[in-house]
A and B are shown apart, each in its own frame.
Chain A
């Protein structure tokens, strides 16, 4: 059974704070690491797909880094806004299938207070 862990489970920050959370995953048979953003009552929305060790991706105020050798990824949000409140999911994809078999972490619930 693959183990994908996210921490913290939940986080409350004030508007304007910068924050980060962690996803840890198996360091063997790595193929890709996905980050999703999931707002209540909506569909999970893809943020990043990261494939190479040392990858850094950025989308607006959100960025992510990847370390496949030690099996972790960080997601950073700079200057959090209330609209960033959501659950952030990471998902590990190992090799061996042509379709995307993803193993998800439990998510980090972020609440940004005005």
Chain B
């Protein structure tokens, strides 16, 4: 149990549907991340929110729309997806880098279990 939960765990949707993925962290972190893992590819960073402000958007198509209403919650709104968007979507959270590189916390990211998305 990492303290990061994701719902739903599995989602099947048609290309014309609109759905949302939810992530919640109970760790007091102030940065949250969305990653995508497609088959046989590394985890790809999609979005980063730091202090509820989007600070990274890695050329993600606009059919994926993130929302971070507060530091504990992160959403990924999905609309008019394509079959190639089928993948595992992981959420993570972290605290700020503190201390020096010899001590302190190091932005260790804590992951949720993911949502397995299938687009038909």
Contact = CB atoms under 8 A, between A and B. Distances in A.
Interface of A: 4, 31-32, 34, 36, 41-46, 49, 51-52, 89, 91, 93, 97-107
Interface stretch (B39-47, B60-68, B70-78): B39-47
A32 to B, nearest CB: 5
Contacts of A36: 111
Interface of B: 2, 4, 31, 40-43, 45, 48, 50, 55-56, 90, 94, 96-97, 101-102, 106-114
Contacts of A98: 50, 96-97
B103 to A, nearest CB: 10
Contacts of A105: 42
B31 A99 contact: yes
21 contacts: A32-B101, A32-B106, A32-B107, A34-B109, A41-B113, A42-B113, A43-B2, A43-B110, A43-B112, A45-B2, A51-B106, A98-B97, A99-B50, A99-B55, A99-B96, A100-B97, A101-B48, A101-B56, A104-B42, A106-B41, A107-B42
Contacts of B112: 43
A52 B48 CA distance: 26
Contact of A100 (B90, B108, B114): B108
A106 B107 CA distance: 21
B65 to A, nearest CB: 20
